[in-house]
Structure 1
Amino acid sequence: MRASLRSSVISVLISIHKGAPVNKTKFVRLLLCAVVAAGVTGLAQAKTELLVYTAVEADELAAFKKAIETDYPDLDIQWVRDSTGIITAKLLAEKANPKADVVWGLAATSLKLLADEGYFQPYAPKGVDKLDPTYVDSAKPPVWVGQRAWIASLCFNTVEAEKLKLPKPTSWQDLTQPAFKGHVIMPNPNSSGTGFLDVSAWLQMWGEDKGWKFMDGLHENIAQYTHSGSKPCKMAAAGEVPVGISFAYRGAQEKTKGAPVEVIAPSEGVGWDLEAFAITKNTKKLDAAKKLADWSVTLKANEMYNEGYAVVAMPGVAKPVPNFPPDIAKKMIKNDFQWAAKHREAILAEWSKRYDSKSEPKK
């Protein structure tokens, strides 16, 4: 309510209290104006709360929330954030009664798996036609839409490597050399999307027999499997381990902050996955969810995606990201998302049977 209107109403009420004569018509008008003004103010302040499940790195979420709510002041984004595998498992557990309104920034392989379960509401965001169709579900309208790619890489601590007289690894196979025994950390693919894209890529590049044989050799040198895709790089940056199998965004971030790490794209090729979004089926906030979807394909959104990731869905937007391996895009494998989604559970079960003994304890 405006201050002048509030002051007028209070003045009339004081007059009534003192027994002074009051113009009833004027008073009624004032009250009506006050009610309308209060209602308009209430409407202006009303926000629709969207529960959004995400695997986007925690240090990026505040900026995304601010940008989204600046463009859509009627939205209140409430993130539920965890690693890809944990979020995927949570969504599957809630399948009978989904709680999220939108799944945003989750691996496309996970979204394909969930889409097969009938989890999502198809929707073509305004402007989706401006994206590279490679990064958008082929259904019409699409069930999911890609945002940006996160790409496997090695975080190599040059200081710790020099102390241990370790050679600089340039290939995946280098990590199976005896010199690296106990000096490599990688993510558990059951809980980490980065871990899964690694395993999926090795199997796609080399086939099942050679892929599992490579992982057997790598396992001999693994110190621990973490439940976070970024943790191996953080540990390498902190000097806790010489080599962390992680992803390029986190490596570039750590190097930019001054850590003595090199970010390496192995020569054989690197796995990758898309961060993507989809609207949960039967959400009671469909209009608000569509607004978030529309925002997520805008030029502004893609420019924000590019602040940390070198490959985004909108052509012509991406600029080089500091400390990314300059040739990493050329090393991205031809990723078969459909194959990865279809075989995900079988791959994870086989991986657990072979290697889970070295996984860090779950919290």
Structure 2
Amino acid sequence: MIGNSTTAYDQALLNKSRLDKFIMVIDLPDLIKPIYRGEIEISHPASSGTAYTILAGLVQIMGEDKAFDYMKALHRNVSQYTRSGTAQAPNVAKGEVAIGVSFLFGFEPWKANRFPVQTAAPCEGTSYEIGGIALVQGGPNPEAARRYYDFLMSPTGQALGGKADSLQTPANRTFKVDPRVPNNELVRLIKYDFEKYGKSSERKRLLERWQREVESLPR
């Protein structure tokens, strides 16, 4: 896939206008408290790469069986599993849901536009994705592909993300980064195993278990 080389993190997000009712989320166990019943929105891991990254991250943080026990408990608090992994940001910003679990960068434009949004990264650690770009070996236009690659990695190309309100952390840090891009230095990133959890067989196995053990449960 062609795209800017960026890193983004999954976050738990609260609508400030409803904070008098809810506790600030600072760790993963908070999300499964009964007070959050029906107030959490997350995407569906079978349709959203965002949600699959979160699922795989929980497995790596907790161990698989404990992660699935956690997701069963979380399921009781989920209002809906959206098809899109970016639906949480506008829904939280507009007050349609109190908590959205997704990547941090999706919420930042809403924060910058003064919507009542606040973010918090789980203290246990968080998974992330890397939006990559690659040259296809044997492609029909290698020179044009190389020029496009070099452009995207240049300061001008990297700045396009901010212009499009896509506020991931840029790979090239030799230019002035959009001030709206969040400072992720204090976020605890896990050592995400891209090779293992990027395999289609592993993804299929985890999704089938999630659908069998989590999605099938009543809420």
Q: What is the TM-score with the length of structure 2 in the denominator?
A: 0.85
Given the alignment, which residue of 151, 163, 181 partners 2:9? 151
More helix by share: 1
Q: 1:336/1:318 Cα in 2 relative to 1: closer, same or farther (>3 Å)?
A: farther
Residue 270 (structure 1) aligns with: 126
**Residues of 2 paired with 1:154 and 1:290: CA distance?**
38
C-alpha change, 1:178 and 1:354, in structure 2 (3 Å) is same
Verify the 8 A CA contact 1:265 1:328 in the aligned structure 2.
no
| Aligned residue type for 1:199 | L
1:12 is matched with none
Match for 1:294 among 150, 161, 180?
A: 150
Residues in 2 aligned to 1:332 and 1:316: alpha-carbon distance in whole angstroms? 23
Match among 195, 206, 212 for residue 347 of structure 1: 206
In structure 1, the partner of 2:172 is 314
CA 1:321–1:336 in 2, change beyond 3 Å: closer, same or farther?
farther
Q: What is the aligned counterpart of 2:192 among 317, 328, 335?
A: 335
Deviation of the 1:278 alpha carbon: 2.8
**Structure with the greater alpha carbon radius of gyration:** 1
How far, CA to CA, are the matches of 2:205 and 2:179 in structure 1?
35
Find the residue that maps to 1:190 and give its secondary structure.
coil
Counterpart-to-counterpart distance in 2, 1:180 and 1:323: 29
Please state whether the residue corresponding to 2:214 is helix, strand or coil.
helix
CA change 1:259–1:222 in 2 (3 A) is same
**1:257-288 residue CA offsets vs partner (Å, 9 max, x unmatched):** 12111011111111101001234565434443
Read off the aligned partner of 1:104 and give its amino acid letter: I
Could you tell me whether the CA contact under 8 Å between 1:255 and 1:323 is conserved in 2?
no
Judge conservation of contact 2:11–2:103 (CA < 8 Å) in 1. Answer: yes
Matched residue, 1:171: 27
Note if contact 2:93-2:115 (Cα within 8 Å) is conserved in structure 1. yes
- Paired residues of 1:187 and 1:226 also in contact (CA < 8 A): yes
When residues 276 and 285 of structure 1 are mapped into structure 2, their CA distance, relative to the original with a 3 A threshold, is same
SS at match of 2:59: helix
Change in Cα spacing, 1:321 to 1:195, as seen in structure 2 (3 Å) is farther
> Cα RMSD over matched residues?
2.4
Counterpart code for 2:14: F
Show the 5 A alignment for 1:1-363: 103-105=1-3, 147-162=5-20, 165-280=21-136, 283-305=139-161, 308-309=166-167, 311-317=169-175, 319=177, 321-322=179-180, 324=182, 326-327=183-184, 329-342=186-199, 343-356=202-215
CA distance in 2 between counterparts of 1:357 and 1:280 reads 41
Residue 310 of structure 1 and its aligned partner are, at CA, apart by 5.2
Residue-pair matches, total: 213
Compute the displacement of 1:319 (Å). Answer: 4.1
Q: Alignment partner of 1:267: what SS? A: coil
TM superposition shift of 1:337: 0.7
How far is 1:315 from its partner? Answer: 4.6
Matched residue type, 2:57: A
Distance 1:353 1:321, change over 3 A: farther
AA of the residue aligned to 1:223: S
1:51-80 per-position Cα deviation (integer Å, ceiling 9, x unaligned): xxxxxxxxxxxxxxxxxxxxxxxxxxxxxx
Pairwise CA distance, 1:159: 1.0
Q: Percent identity?
A: 25
Q: Which runs of 5+ in 1 are unaligned?
A: 1-102, 106-145, 359-363
Query: What is the CA deviation profile of residues 318-349 of structure 1, one whole-angstrom value per residue up to 9, with x for unaligned ones?
Result: 7474373x455531211111121132221122
C-alpha spacing 1:153/1:317, structure 2 compared with 1 (3 Å): farther
Shift of 1:317: 4.6
Q: Secondary structure at the match of 1:240?
A: coil
